[in-house]
Amino acid sequence: MTQLKRDIDHLWLNEADSIALQQSLRDLDTAYQNFFKRKNGYPKYKSKHNHKQTYRTISKIIRIEGKYINLPKVGLVEFRQSRQIKGKIINATITKNASGKYFISLCVEEDLADDLKLNQGGEIGIDVGLKEFYTDNFGNVVLNPKILKRLTKKLIKEQKRLSRRMRESRNREKQRVKVAIVHEKIANTRLDFLHKQTTKLCRENQTIAVESLRVKNLLKNHKLARAISDVSWGEFFRQLSYKSILYGCDLIKVPTFYPSSQTCSQCGSKNPLTKDLKVRSWKCPKCGALHDRDENAAKNILAKALEIKNSA
């Protein structure tokens, strides 16, 4: 890197933050090591013409001064702070997304005990679905917002306009940004919904029971792949995982092949006829109890989770 900076054809490297350049080399080295260890695929080339640009820097001069943040080689930049910084700033990642907006993510060292929040001590079992986002053991239903389906027409309209624009023209670039804004709205609306639901669950409950779903395997069903991607079960469970630590909750995952939908929550007998997803309500042939499919599954998931918790 030092030799390249002295080369007359690479003098532009001196305009960039030196630590950011070193960090890029470290990331490249890590990518190759993971490839040779067969953890990841071959490293992909990232062009400066990519619509998403990012770099990470480490420096003692990264500090917040009122509504400004000081960055190496950039200086004071006005920004909007989303939350209060309590600890020591370790590094900063600056990102430019496809629609042209800039974001900065700060990695901060702080004591987790100072940030722990209290929950209300409840117990809840959750059965996720496509029509209903989830149903709990109390019979409460949260509907799937189907964000992608709502904005599909607008997305198709903007993408058609993009396809008609001349390549490398200014109008094409303007239209590309409009398409990126629609994608951004879909992603932001979905994340907002997921954050609200996961925060609510972690605030109210000490024990949260969910199914251990293999989402990647479910996506192989090409008839349901788009709906499964839109509902974002993977992101939902990821948020529950880290928020359960912040709120001191017990997130318990029930085994994938546990027959929660086939088991009667009253007597424990199995009804194999409920394997058909069209069966939304059924009567237990043994005890005669009437069950809603999703509510019954949520009750069984919670019961199995408590059993796992008590046996641990």
Q: What is the rounded distance in angstroms from the CA atom of residue 161 to the CA atom of residue 277?
A: 40
Same domain, residue pair 79 and 179: no
Domain of residue 40, residue span = 2-112
Q: Answer yes or no: is 215 within a domain.
A: yes
Same domain, residue pair 254 and 132: yes
Of 112, 143, 175, the residue that ends a domain is 112
Of 83, 112, 141, the residue that ends a domain is 112
Same domain, residue pair 46 and 68: yes
Tell me the pLDDT tens digit for each residue of 160-186.
Answer: 999 999 998 999 999 999 999 999 999
What is the percent of the chain with per-residue pLDDT over 90, rounded to a whole number? Answer: 74
From the list 127, 136, 158, 295, the catalytic residue is 127
Helix axes 170-204, 233-246, angle to 10 degrees: 50
Active site annotation includes 230: no
Tell me the pLDDT tens digit for each residue of 36-45.
Answer: 998 889 998 8
Same domain, residue pair 128 and 275: yes
For the stretch 59-65, contacts whose Cβ atoms lie closer than 8 Å and that sit 24 or more positions apart, written own/partner, are: 59/17, 59/19, 62/89, 62/91, 62/92, 62/106, 63/89
Same domain, residue pair 256 and 183: yes
Tell me the pLDDT tens digit for each residue of 101-126.
Answer: 999 999 998 876 666 788 899 999 99
Q: Is the dihedral of CA 114, 117, 123, 125 positive or negative?
A: negative
Residue 25 structure tokens: 């080399």
Same domain, residue pair 149 and 291: yes
Same domain, residue pair 264 and 152: yes
Active site annotation includes 294: yes
Tell me the pLDDT tens digit for each residue of 194-247.
Answer: 999 999 999 999 999 999 999 999 999 889 999 999 999 999 999 999 999 989
Same domain, residue pair 108 and 145: no
Q: Answer yes or no: is 101 within a domain.
A: yes
Q: Answer yes or no: is 226 within a domain.
A: yes
Same domain, residue pair 37 and 84: yes
Q: Answer yes or no: is 31 within a domain.
A: yes
Same domain, residue pair 96 and 145: no
Q: Answer yes or no: is 73 within a domain.
A: yes
Active site annotation includes 184: no
Question: Residue 184 in 3-state DSSP?
Answer: helix
Average pLDDT over residues 279-304: 92
Give me the number of domains the chain comprises.
2
From the list 158, 211, 230, 295, the catalytic residue is 211
CA distances from 21 to 26, 28, 129, 210, 246 (A): 9, 11, 45, 43, 34
- Report residue 217 CA to chain centroid gap: 18
Same domain, residue pair 192 and 215: yes
Of 112, 130, 147, the residue that ends a domain is 112
Tell me the pLDDT tens digit for each residue of 290-299.
Answer: 999 999 999 9
**193, containing H or E segment:** helix 170-204
Same domain, residue pair 59 and 159: no
From the list 17, 136, 158, 294, the catalytic residue is 294
Q: Answer yes or no: is 117 within a domain.
A: no
Cα pseudo-dihedral 294, 298, 303, 307, rounded to 10? 120
Average pLDDT over residues 261-281: 89
Q: Answer yes or no: is 14 within a domain.
A: yes
pLDDT score of 137 more than 90: yes
